[in-house]
A and B are shown apart, each in its own frame.
Chain A
């Protein structure tokens, strides 16, 4: 029951929300489409929170995607024991870095009075959720060793089975609870993305990188 909920209902519900709500929000009201930075109001703690968080979580997230998109090359690469040890160590370090940043950001929201008026329920939900996600990730990395390797043989085929609308939850059904919570957290984050400030993740810098520096708009266009 729990398995079907976490590994079948949640991912499809999250995906559906992401696919349908995001364009709806984009088209209906982009005035709320912002990263909602609070750097203007408080910057000293933010520096030590926001940088570890982003520089920690982005490579870890990228590694998760890399495993899904290129399972075969990743298997070959991590088949080498040295590679595996180095990869795992770096990932765990980055995970701890992100966790540290996230907890600091959470404490900052609690302890900075001037942020009271710009902190909404969604901010609390996201901060706790992301901290829990980072914590469960670090736990898995520490106590369920060589995750980068077994991930490729369990979660990756499961995720592929999701995409082919033939969910095979037996790949992941027998994992300990903490892994399941980590998966559930991931789907929850995807589900919340279109509703919260997480939409800032959908930023693509192509125009910024390619355009000439000064942008003109003519009325006739």
Chain B
């Protein structure tokens, strides 16, 4: 692929309409199907972060919502100062400008510390057979993976508030929760899972904050990477990322983050997390977007950000878009993948997938389909449920719309309601079909769906196969000089980081 041509050249070719079309690999998570099994986290850890200094890194993690997440309270930007703010019609980093950054290099004021994550531990299994004879059963004692010292008590972990454990301490402190007493009320309590990876944002704050310019966005697929050779460990990225998905490796002294499994996606394979997903909740595909309109979109008020996201995403079937994409070096294979993209359908065509915390203004490229939470099921409500054919009404869902709106739409409750309405209508429609009952025509229509659309969504959510849920075009490495390509690969990284102690 070539570098995007100059704006003036592009103008000439697309008839005066200025578009800087780029391709982005995007993941969509269907929260309705997430069972919180953490298989994604484990497969990611096994491949990428099973190393010294990276023990505490969970490039992919699954959080229980409501909850404080990982690291604790990552959503509270008063604490870590992540993301962007609007100021005088411009975007600026919430944390520090360029000058103050240089004056804070010695001590980074907003950096999360080890305790905000947890002290990684392992167990000394050798004690099970090495222990001297005695009256007690020998145990495998915990030791810290940082200091190597024995740990008397483990007080924290990567998923300490899993399944609402310690809800009075953790869930009650979820910043999305309007009414904290909800946590104490067993009848109104709800729970959902939130799997998270790096969002590979279109306006990544980590990239902007890096004084070494070590973090970059790949032009071809939008993956955000840390160049380990250039990173000098200034640590501003770790807090600038509002999702806290850049981690500091205490052993190598450099920052690391999710690489969107680029060695896999480059060859058309699914990311390890998506590949191993038991619930098949993940969809991976290509989006085409207009890079020229990203900043303008991010200057919109919070509750219009979802619409602004959708406006930046372009229709891959539009010939004008395709032409502009070709001008930017997007290959035919990628254009084809963009047309078949499941994520385009979910995000823009049907509008059921929403960005995580768009108000952080990094324009995250991981999208979430909100889940239909359990219904409030006191005695009287059951009667109403039966009237509706066991599919709940939007108003009866346990998770407050305000909670979902705070999480996925910058506070815009209508956007959430629209998405949930579609999911409910889809269920009503398919249930009636299965039972051979007539479907009231208005059901789909009122939700903004038609039968073809509902069938398409149904396939994606249920019986669609691996290549339907994930459409990942390969990187066209054959365009590169084959001598160099072959000569420069195959042995991995032979250089060493600081030696282990």
Whether the pair A209, B98 counts as a contact (CB closer than 8 A) is yes
- 1/0 contact trace for A19-54 toward B, CB 8 Å? 000000000111111111111110100110011011
A81 to chain B, nearest CB (A): 33
Indicate if the CB atoms of A32 and B498 lie closer than 8 Å.
Answer: yes
Which of B114, B218, B329, B495 is the one whose CB lies under 8 Å from A41?
A: B114
Query: Which chain B residue has the least Cβ–Cβ distance from A54?
Result: B106
Judged by a CB distance under 8 angstroms, whether B80 is at the interface is: no
Given contacts A40-B111, A54-B106, A207-B213, contact A34 B207 (CB under 8 A): no
Q: Which one of A9-17, A113-121, A169-177 contacts B?
A: A113-121
Q: Does A50 contact B107, Cβ atoms closer than 8 Å?
A: yes
Residue on B nearest A43 in the bound complex, by CB: B113
Q: How many A-B residue pairs have CB under 8 A?
A: 140
B251 close to A (CB within 8 Å): yes
**Which chain B positions have C-beta within 8 A of A197?**
253
Cα–Cα, bound, A41→B219 (Å): 35
Residues in B with CB closer than 8 Å to A33 are 229, 232
Question: Nearest chain-B residue to A203 (Cβ)?
Answer: B232
Which residues of chain A are within 8 angstroms of B497 by Cβ–Cβ distance?
Answer: 31-32
- Using known A-B contacts A35-B234, A36-B233, determine if residue A217 contacts B113 with beta carbons closer than 8 Å: no
A40 to B108, CA, bound (A): 10
Q: Does B496 contact A (CB under 8 A)?
A: yes
A1 CB to closest chain B CB, in angstroms? Answer: 38
* Inter-chain contacts of B230 with A (CB < 8 A): 30
Distance between B227 CB and nearest chain A CB, rounded to angstroms: 8
Q: Could you tell me if B2 and A220 are in contact, using CB atoms closer than 8 angstroms?
A: yes
Q: In the complex, what's the smallest C-beta–C-beta distance from A125 to chain B, in angstroms?
A: 15
Residues of B within 8 A of A221 (CB): 3
Residues of A at the B interface (CB closer than 8 Å) are 28-41, 43, 46-47, 50-51, 53-55, 113-114, 116-118, 120, 197, 200, 203, 205, 207-209, 211, 213-221
Q: How many interface residues does B have (CB within 8 Å)?
A: 54
A217 near B213 (CB under 8 angstroms)?
no
Kindly list chain B residues whose C-beta atoms are within 8 Å of the C-beta of A51: 106-107
Q: How far is the CB of A35 from chain B (nearest CB, A)?
A: 5
B219 pairs with A37, CB closer than 8 A: no
List 9 interface pairs A-B (beta carbons < 8 Å), by A numbering.
Answer: A37-B248, A53-B106, A55-B106, A117-B501, A118-B250, A118-B501, A217-B218, A219-B218, A220-B329
Is B114 a contact of A40 with CB atoms below 8 Å? yes
Extra contacts besides A31-B228, A35-B233, A209-B98 (4): CB < 8 Å: A35-B232, A39-B235, A207-B213, A213-B208
B76 within 8 A of A: no
